[in-house]
Structure 1
Amino acid sequence: MSFPARLATTRSTIALAAALSAAHTGVIVADSPLDEAATAGARELDTVIVDSAGLHSVPAFEVPASLDTVFIEEGNRAQAIASELLQGVPGLLARDRQNHAQDTQLSIRGFGARATFGVRGVRLYADGIPATMPDGQGQLSHFALAGAERIEVMRGPFSALHGNSSGGVVQLFTADGQAGDPWRVRSTFGSDDTWTVSANLQGGHAHGGYNVALARFDTQGYRDHSAARRDTANARLHWLFEGGHRLDLVFNHLDLPEALDPLGLTAAQVREDPRQATAVAAQFNTRKSVRQTQAGLAWQQPAGESGSLHARVHAGGRDVVQYLAIPASAQANPLHAGGVIDLDNRYGGADLRWQWLGELAGRRAEFTIGTSADRQHQHRRGFENFDGDALGVRGVLRRDERNRAGNSDQFAQLWWQVAGRWSLLAGARHSSVRFRSDDRYASAGNPDDSGQVRYARTTPVAGLVLAPVESLRIYASAGSGFETPTFNELSYRADGGAGLAFDLRPATSRNIEAGLKWRRAGGGLLETALFRADTDDELAVASNIGGRSSFSNVGRARREGMEAAWSQSLGSEWDLRLAATWLDATFRDGFLACTGAGCTVPATVVPAGTPIPGIARQQAFARLAWTGGSWNAAVEGMAASDVRVSDTSSEKAAGHGLLNLEVSRRWHLGQGQWRAFLRLDNAFDRAYVGSVIVNEGNGRYFEPGAGRTWLAGLQWNWQR
């Protein structure tokens, strides 16, 4: 069946799911400054400039890309992890792992779905500082939501302008402190002895401002052996100087000590008791500790006529210690790296760009040119996870490497209103990514594994926007992208030999997108997009042996589908938001894969047309909210189809639908405002799998989602 035909057959299914299911999204899309004769209803939409597009004067409505902004307002969630706030963004899948020892699973249009921990294939930023390392691996764990203003999400071809491993882009922005901002204290308590407390202090004056946020999250966990505590601190200070100069200072700290890891379950274990942990989790006391501190400086000043110069530098460190459940017998192999991972990461980078706003051939234009460089220095050590008969302790050294990764990029982008109803956005980025490993652990049975490799690629992209009427934009865009293997994917060779897998090739993709954005009087907004991404040299798991995963290039893959989102005010008290995604992601070439623990030689045929694992074919979200004076209430939920768990499609997690309810009340007392709220998630107590561990070698693919849970909170805003 052809791509358009498949879209047609699923459109009614998506529409029905979107109407019957519900989820929260604070997505708002911009008004257009180009339309002087905008309708009254269109003027009600705020003008939102989306930084992810790299444009400073063009709102999202005028950009030939799928862009969403989630405003982090006074919601009724714990606001402990970013995935809570991203459920309503079409094309994005953020999975509830119920496992704080592993970072949120995040994929955009199928990119990043293979990640078993951390985030791959999607570019992450926090206040302009890359949360994705030069090797392409990132994490959301240090995103500080207590003082954040918004999260921006970009999907489609223009994501490639952010460089390596940019199948999509997610950026977190802390609010600028302004004069008159209130201070805020917030506390929540809920199921599984989960509680949070946070304080956010904001303020400013004519020459600058501050935003400081501190937060603690603590839980015993829905599952056994899943307790965790997370402390975050975030600060953003800015100073304004005469002549249009601005200086920003950003500081961020995360402390996650010994978060317990319950590991995945088999399908039989999920049916028996979804709260249980795998037996070896307790036996080896599987756990993970993370400590990260980073800081950045950004400087902005006028440069030339209608131009401005933007410079940023950042530096930080991230230390990780993780205890795995690898049996001692598997570590008898002299090439084995042990069952305790000790990673010390030091990283830093700089970005310099010149931006010009003016006219080109009598039409408005915006041009950006710049360069960036990032460095990652990693000290990777491995230890045995036993000492004699004692398990889950640090034993003798088995690995000692100094790894380095770095990128050097150059980029340019032009937005131009080429005619009265037409605008063009085009750009290109050249990325050079280098990996080097110096092996400090060598013996008779474990030779020197040192080596290096370099990948380089130029990724052009272009898009056109047509404005047939002021309330409608129709666009099309196309471009290319590439994704290098990460250090974790380079760590082991598929043939089991010594050394790193420097023979892996980067995956390259060709992306196209067509869509429309339509707004109506009264504030309604509709966005739809059709997309396709064809990938060569797709990376997939080659083998899982003794806790070690190796990877190989398996040929071509395709990700194609449709997204739709609708938001509408229903009178003065009601607000409705809907979102739906249909995504078909398949391997286009057949290949051989390993099955079962201990597999060393891939022998199972994965035929062409097999679904790529970790991806839900259909998703739908909606939220109906009511505001009545001091009271607020909402009903929301989500629906997702089944998800395959391995390249061979041997098993799958069933689809599910969830319903959530919330209510809140405000009181104004003196100079402050109190707000109390109550939230009920999974109101019907449905059993479901929240996430899957793709290609898990022991068949423990499933991480159950929580049953019915409640959360109560109290917030105080003090107007100084």
Structure 2
Amino acid sequence: MIIKQQQSGLSELDTPAAVSVIDGDDLRRSKPQVNLSESLGAVPGLQVQNRQNYSQDLQLSVRGFGSSSTYGVSGVRMYVDGIPATMPDGQGQTSNIDLNSADKIEVLRGPFSALYGNASGGVVNVDTQSGSQPTQLSVGTYYGSYGSFRNSVKASGATGDGTHAGDVNYTLSASRFTTQGFRDDSSARKNLGNGKLGVRIDDVSTLTLMFNSVTVDAGDPGGLTDAEWKANPTQSPRADQYNTRKTIDQTQFGLRYQRDMSEHDQLSIMTYQGERHTTQYQSIPMSAQKNPAHSGGVIVLSRSYQGIDTRWKHDGNLGSVPVTLTGGLDYETMTERRQGYENYTLDNGVPDYGVKGNERRNEKNTMWNLDPYLQTSWKLTPRWTLDAGMRYSTVSFDSKDYYITQGNGDDSGSTRYHKMLPMGSLNYALTPAWNLYVSAGRGFETPTINQLSYRPDGASGLNINLQPSTSNTVEMGSKTRIGDGLLTAAVFQTDTDNDLVVATSSGGRTSYANAGKTRRRGLELSLDQQLAMDWRVRMAWTLLDATYRNDVCASTSCTADEVVPAGNRMPGIARNMGYASLEWAPPEGFHAGADIRYMSNIQANDDNTAQAPAYTVTGVNAGYRLNWRDNWSLDLFSRVDNLFDRHYVGSVIVNESNGRYFEPAAGRNWGGGATLTYTFE
């Protein structure tokens, strides 16, 4: 099977890789529809945590990749309707994902992820709904703890059935979310819009236009020390002092053209363009900024990005063997203007923090990647299938420094990375409902622009000595269809050279180093079983052992006390994760559900001297679904999360130099909402 995203999506049973597919209705049923963390607990190998901080996004990692990211998502490729939510440098974000109009989310883990190029320790692909007849209009509202509101509207429909020239389908969605926040200085406002318009040009071709826009205005409460977290998890002392906050404004467009060139050949061209503007105020004292090489406590970032992915697919035979070939060329580019300013002005010699002051940084960064790829699938016998693929990835980075003063020299620089990324898998269909597979592949992750920005020794200039990490993964798995359910198991080992890890994290600034060799190995189990009488049970378990295989020194010279010994656990990664849910969901009338999540302790630093303790939390929900007059439907729900009011850490800031590792999770919280839908007949 060709793994590159196709219109029909991935099959959980037949894809020879660890893959989970979450249906859009599951993302919305009895949920606030604000964060991915609400719905992805049933995916093994995926660790997604709500920081309770909308200025820094969710903390998301796959099999440990991305666990050290201090903001956004790194190490994992993300797509929305085929448009990368991950930039060419490997840094991505989840804030533009519209759960209100999502059709499904696919999470891909293991060797096949390498076919997506840079920073593909895993892949999260979001497809939004395509409109169809009859036309529907729905409005939704949600209200919850901490003054949280979410209001939304969605319209979808089509002219014709999509098979005739001129047929059009559309889905338009918009929402607004506001919250005062669980912690002090964590209030947020988020406006999100998403649209998709499809046109049947003729019998063999279609054109799809996609639009997405998001604005975020959020406070940044920052991390707490162990003592601060235990004393008062809602406090935010640095945010109070420095007025830390962040604003984001992003808009993007995409266009996909698909054409059947013949009975056996298909052409697909995807192109997109977007802009993102960010302003962030950090908690950096004036004393630190007195260093002439310091880039200040305010980040002002303007970024434009665009790309094109051209793909050809051929279905045919080589002798008596059915073969599918897919070849393509992926080009992505990003240009950003990054400026830094002091986060204060002086009033009679006293700093007034939270105000943009003098300029301390001004640079233009350009990054692009060019990746040709080829994938093949060979149906050797009715039971045996061989898949193989190759991607050659080139990533180029160039920085031009325009802020040159005494004590702050020219920090311009450039670098380029190349890597061949092969993979292969062999699948055996023991029965039509039971597949066994083995796969192997190589992936790599280049430093992001943020990781290149600061050197661990505190000196000025780019961290140009950073090298990309290279990972080799072997995986074996089993997938079994049991009635209306699916039982999956996967065991894997990933060995990484030059793993990118946090060297220091202080004052809102994080530097990175190459850790030498690391190893991730583990076991993933999942069960999604539909039972009689509208009952459904879902369970997942992840065992992940992630350790350093050699002594690690983050700087050019380390004392014995500064060396991280081989065998230490990699920080930010839980060794065990468990999830179970039971749901009763008839098509009409009362519905209810309960879920329980377990997370083992998480190391907060390389020395393994600080950790977030293990926790178990429970959530319950109930509601009523009413249909009347064949046109109207109303779905009411209420829910309580952290039912037993557990006191726990939701996420950690890896290697935070001041010991402010911990981002507390909310206590017992509640919410309720309603969705009203009218169907035009």
Whether these two folds match at TM > 0.5 is yes
With over 3 angstroms needed to count, the CA separation of the structure-2 counterparts of 1:177 and 1:456, relative to structure 1, is: same
Amino acid corresponding to residue 530 of structure 2 in structure 1: S
Amino acid corresponding to residue 64 of structure 2 in structure 1: G
Q: Which runs of 5+ in 1 are unaligned?
A: 1-48
Per the alignment, residue 661 of structure 1 pairs with 620
SS at match of 1:517: strand
Answer yes or no: is the 8 Å Cα contact 2:110–2:122 preserved in 1: yes
- Asked if 1:694 is matched to 2:654, the reply is yes
Shift of 1:362: 2.4
Per the alignment, residue 163 of structure 2 pairs with none
- Asked if 1:707 is matched to 2:659, the reply is no
| Residue 619 (structure 1) aligned to one of 558, 566, 577 | 577
Q: Distance in 2 between matches of 1:123 and 1:669?
A: 43
Q: Deviations over 1:551-581 (max 9, x none)?
A: 2212100000000001222322311111110
Shift of 1:449: 0.8
With over 3 angstroms needed to count, the CA separation of the structure-2 counterparts of 1:112 and 1:161, relative to structure 1, is: same
Shift of 1:57: 8.6
Could you say which structure has the greater relative contact order, defined with CA pairs below 8 angstroms and 6 or more residues apart? 1
Q: Which runs of 5+ in 2 are unaligned?
A: 161-166
| Residue 172 (structure 1) aligned to one of 126, 130, 136 | 126
Q: Distance in 2 between matches of 1:361 and 1:165?
A: 38
Per the alignment, residue 56 of structure 2 pairs with 102
Shift of 1:219: 0.3
SS at match of 1:592: coil
Q: Deviations over 1:384-434 (max 9, x none)?
A: 000003111000000000000000000010112111210011101000000
Per the alignment, residue 327 of structure 1 pairs with 285
Between 1:215-224 and 1:497-506, the stretch displaced more is 497-506
Per the alignment, residue 68 of structure 1 pairs with 20
| Residue 576 (structure 1) aligned to one of 537, 540, 549 | 537
Q: Distance in 1 between matches of 2:579 and 2:90?
A: 29
Answer yes or no: is the 8 Å Cα contact 2:504–2:656 preserved in 1: no
- Asked if 1:466 is matched to 2:425, the reply is no
Mapping of 1:46-445 within 5 angstroms? 59-73=11-25, 74-206=28-160, 207-257=167-217, 259-277=218-236, 279-388=237-346, 389-445=351-407
Shift of 1:364: 2.9
Q: Distance in 1 between matches of 2:52 and 2:485?
A: 36
| Residue 440 (structure 2) aligned to one of 467, 478, 483 | 478
Per the alignment, residue 549 of structure 1 pairs with 510
Q: Distance in 2 between matches of 1:517 and 1:88?
A: 16
Q: Distance in 2 between matches of 1:52 and 1:183?
A: 33
Answer yes or no: is the 8 Å Cα contact 1:542–1:551 preserved in 2: yes
Amino acid corresponding to residue 397 of structure 1 in structure 2: E
Q: Deviations over 1:511-565 (max 9, x none)?
A: 1100000112x31211000011100011222334554322221210000000000
Answer yes or no: is the 8 Å Cα contact 2:506–2:658 preserved in 1: no
Q: Distance in 1 between matches of 2:193 and 2:7?
A: 29
Q: Distance in 1 between matches of 2:531 and 2:40?
A: 23
Amino acid corresponding to residue 230 of structure 2 in structure 1: R
With over 3 angstroms needed to count, the CA separation of the structure-2 counterparts of 1:196 and 1:56, relative to structure 1, is: closer
Per the alignment, residue 416 of structure 2 pairs with 454
Q: Distance in 1 between matches of 2:262 and 2:371?
A: 24
Mapping of 1:484-563 within 5 angstroms? 484-520=446-482, 522-544=483-505, 546-563=507-524
Amino acid corresponding to residue 501 of structure 1 in structure 2: N
Q: Deviations over 1:30-72 (max 9, x none)?
A: xxxxxxxxxxxxxxxxxxx997555869733222101111112
SS at match of 2:13: helix
Answer yes or no: is the 8 Å Cα contact 1:191–1:710 preserved in 2: yes
Over aligned residues, Cα RMSD in angstroms? 1.7
Per the alignment, residue 717 of structure 1 pairs with 677
With over 3 angstroms needed to count, the CA separation of the structure-2 counterparts of 1:51 and 1:76, relative to structure 1, is: farther
Amino acid corresponding to residue 470 of structure 2 in structure 1: T
SS at match of 1:646: coil
Shift of 1:360: 3.0
Q: Distance in 1 between matches of 2:501 and 2:486?
A: 39
Mapping of 1:630-669 within 5 angstroms? 630-669=589-628
With over 3 angstroms needed to count, the CA separation of the structure-2 counterparts of 1:437 and 1:51, relative to structure 1, is: same
With over 3 angstroms needed to count, the CA separation of the structure-2 counterparts of 1:544 and 1:270, relative to structure 1, is: closer
Task: Report % sequence identity.
Answer: 42
SS at match of 2:120: coil
Amino acid corresponding to residue 449 of structure 1 in structure 2: D
Q: Distance in 1 between matches of 2:233 and 2:12?
A: 42
Answer yes or no: is the 8 Å Cα contact 1:543–1:601 preserved in 2: no
Q: Distance in 2 between matches of 1:57 and 1:712?
A: 32
Shift of 1:471: 1.8
Per the alignment, residue 684 of structure 1 pairs with 644
Shift of 1:342: 0.5
Answer yes or no: is the 8 Å Cα contact 1:482–1:506 preserved in 2: yes
Amino acid corresponding to residue 555 of structure 1 in structure 2: G
Between 1:504-513 and 1:491-500, the stretch displaced more is 491-500
Between 1:570-579 and 1:473-482, the stretch displaced more is 570-579
Q: Distance in 1 between matches of 2:669 and 2:121?
A: 33
Q: Distance in 2 between matches of 1:544 and 1:576?
A: 41
Shift of 1:493: 2.3
What is the aligned length?
665
With over 3 angstroms needed to count, the CA separation of the structure-2 counterparts of 1:570 and 1:302, relative to structure 1, is: closer
Q: Deviations over 1:310-338 (max 9, x none)?
A: 00110000111000000000001110000
Per the alignment, residue 26 of structure 1 pairs with none
Q: Deviations over 1:197-245 (max 9, x none)?
A: 0001000022120000000010000111110010001100000122220
SS at match of 2:146: helix
Between 1:86-95 and 1:304-313, the stretch displaced more is 304-313
| Residue 565 (structure 2) aligned to one of 584, 602, 607 | 607
Q: Distance in 1 between matches of 2:256 and 2:194?
A: 16
Shift of 1:87: 1.5
Shift of 1:603: 5.0
Q: Distance in 1 between matches of 2:538 and 2:456?
A: 46
Amino acid corresponding to residue 301 of structure 1 in structure 2: R
Per the alignment, residue 39 of structure 1 pairs with none
Answer yes or no: is the 8 Å Cα contact 2:594–2:619 preserved in 1: yes
Answer yes or no: is the 8 Å Cα contact 2:363–2:403 preserved in 1: yes
Shift of 1:470: 1.7
Q: Distance in 1 between matches of 2:454 and 2:584?
A: 54
Q: Distance in 1 between matches of 2:4 and 2:37?
A: 19
Answer yes or no: is the 8 Å Cα contact 2:42–2:526 preserved in 1: no
Shift of 1:583: 0.2
Q: Deviations over 1:130-167 (max 9, x none)?
A: 11101110111111111111111000000000000100
SS at match of 1:62: coil
Q: Deviations over 1:70-118 (max 9, x none)?
A: 1121411110122222121100000121111111100000001110111
